[in-house]
Amino acid sequence: MRLGKVTENVLKRSVLKPLTEQKYNISAAVGTDCAFYNDNDSFVLSATMPVTFDTELCGALSVIGAANNILAMGGKPVMAVISILLPPDAEEKIIKDIMRSAMEAASMYHMPVNGGHTEVTSAVKRCVVTASVTGMVQQDFFARTTQAVSGDDIVMVGTAGAIGAAALSCAKGHELISRYPAHMIEDAKKFYRYAIMESEAAVAIKSGVRAMHDISYGGVFAALWELAEGAGTGLEADLKKIPIRQETIEISEFFEVNPYQLITGGMLIAVSDGEMLVENFAKSGIEASVIGRLQAGNDRVLINDDEKRFLELPQADEIHKVLD
């Protein structure tokens, strides 16, 4: 099979199908990155994020991915646990680096890292770090992609490929330095901090949005597809309106990857009035853009000036082309 997340067909056939055959109420679905169950007047949420490519940021990136999935459901991340699998040739410094970056990221969400598991095993060739984050949400706001409807605007916060640019700068900075100034590479290493979506989710909830979806593996293109798949709609999105930093474009060109299919760390939001939401974000000093709209039917279309093309099923994240 291909590297990265399994294809949607494999997911439906071999993962979701046996889950739905259980006697319990199951929350797993395409476009739903957070599991949940009802506990009286609130929902308990759980999300997990593996990072399987080598970078000193893998601890932080795993925590950010899992915590943002909690936020996308309207919840509050309250606790993280970290699993670290190391190859036999790994040194102790790697563990310290992973834990340092994981705890730094967790502190940005005002939550503790409460435990986990650390193991050296010949089953892996490089570090595999997985964060599992638990969260809570009251029933007065519980966001799922299934709540989005045709006609909703799609608003994006964050910038395309930000986490990917940070990971590539950390892991391959020695190659980038041959073309770009050192200060640009050092700045790009910190892009993962822009992926913290706590303030953005809070503004969105107060604005009465219908659904939120974290942009992670597969980048903006995968997240757009998953949002529409969860809503059961088509969509139309304008490539030129998707926020992206120039540094990410430069780094992506260097490694010949598509930044819109690169792990991102932002959020897509479905809302009836996108411009109103953008204004509300602006009042809090947050940049956001209306990048498209959900629409009736099954067509999922990308517009680039006068060119139109159909959005493909989510592809493997471009970062695997470089770091694998």
Helix 58-72 × helix 162-176 angle, to 10°: 170
pLDDT above 90 coverage of the chain, percent: 73
Look at 46 and 290; give whichever has higher pLDDT.
Answer: 290
pLDDT at position 147 is 87
Please report, as a single letter, which amino acid is at residue 169. Answer: S
- Check: CB of residue 168 under 8 Å from CB of residue 56: no
d(C-alpha 67, C-alpha 79), whole Å: 9
Mean pLDDT, rounded, of the chain: 89
Look at 313 and 42; give whichever has higher pLDDT.
Answer: 313
pLDDT at position 128 is 94
Distances (CA, A) of 129 to 4, 159, 189, 215: 14, 24, 19, 19
Neighbours of 137 (CB within 10 A): 21
Look at 137 and 273; give whichever has higher pLDDT.
Answer: 273
Split at pLDDT 50, 70, 90, the class of 60 is very high
- Check: CB of residue 175 under 8 Å from CB of residue 250: no
- Check: CB of residue 143 under 8 Å from CB of residue 231: no
Structure tokens at 106: 């967790």
- Check: CB of residue 31 under 8 Å from CB of residue 72: no
pLDDT(26) > 80: no
pLDDT above 70 coverage of the chain, percent: 87
Average confidence (pLDDT) over 227-232: 93
pLDDT in tens, 70-112: 999 888 999 999 999 999 999 999 989 999 999 999 999 999 9
CA-wise closest residue to 275 among 178, 155, 120: 155
Phi, psi of 132 (to 5 degrees): -115, 125
d(C-alpha 33, C-alpha 145), whole Å: 10
Distances (CA, A) of 275 to 12, 195, 234, 253, 269: 35, 22, 21, 32, 12
Split at pLDDT 50, 70, 90, the class of 213 is very high
Delineate the domains of the chain, giving CATH numbers in brackets.
Answer: 31-138 (3.30.1330.10), 145-323 (3.90.650.10)
pLDDT(39) > 80: no
- Check: CB of residue 252 under 8 Å from CB of residue 165: yes
SS3 156: strand
DSSP secondary-structure letter at 191?
G
Look at 237 and 144; give whichever has higher pLDDT.
Answer: 237
Please compute Rg for the chain using Cα positions: 19
pLDDT at position 285 is 96
| The model's pTM | 0.87
- Give how far the C-alpha of residue 202 lies from the chain's centroid of Cα atoms, to the nearest Å: 17
pLDDT in tens, 147-204: 899 999 999 999 999 999 999 999 999 999 999 999 999 999 999 888 999 999 999 9
Neighbouring C-alpha atoms within 13 Å toward the C-beta of 247: 23
Look at 54 and 166; give whichever has higher pLDDT.
Answer: 166
pLDDT in tens, 280-290: 999 999 999 99
pLDDT at position 27 is 53
Least confident of 115-119, 284-288, 299-303: 115-119
pLDDT(233) > 70: yes
- Check: CB of residue 116 under 8 Å from CB of residue 84: yes
DSSP secondary-structure letter at 148?
-
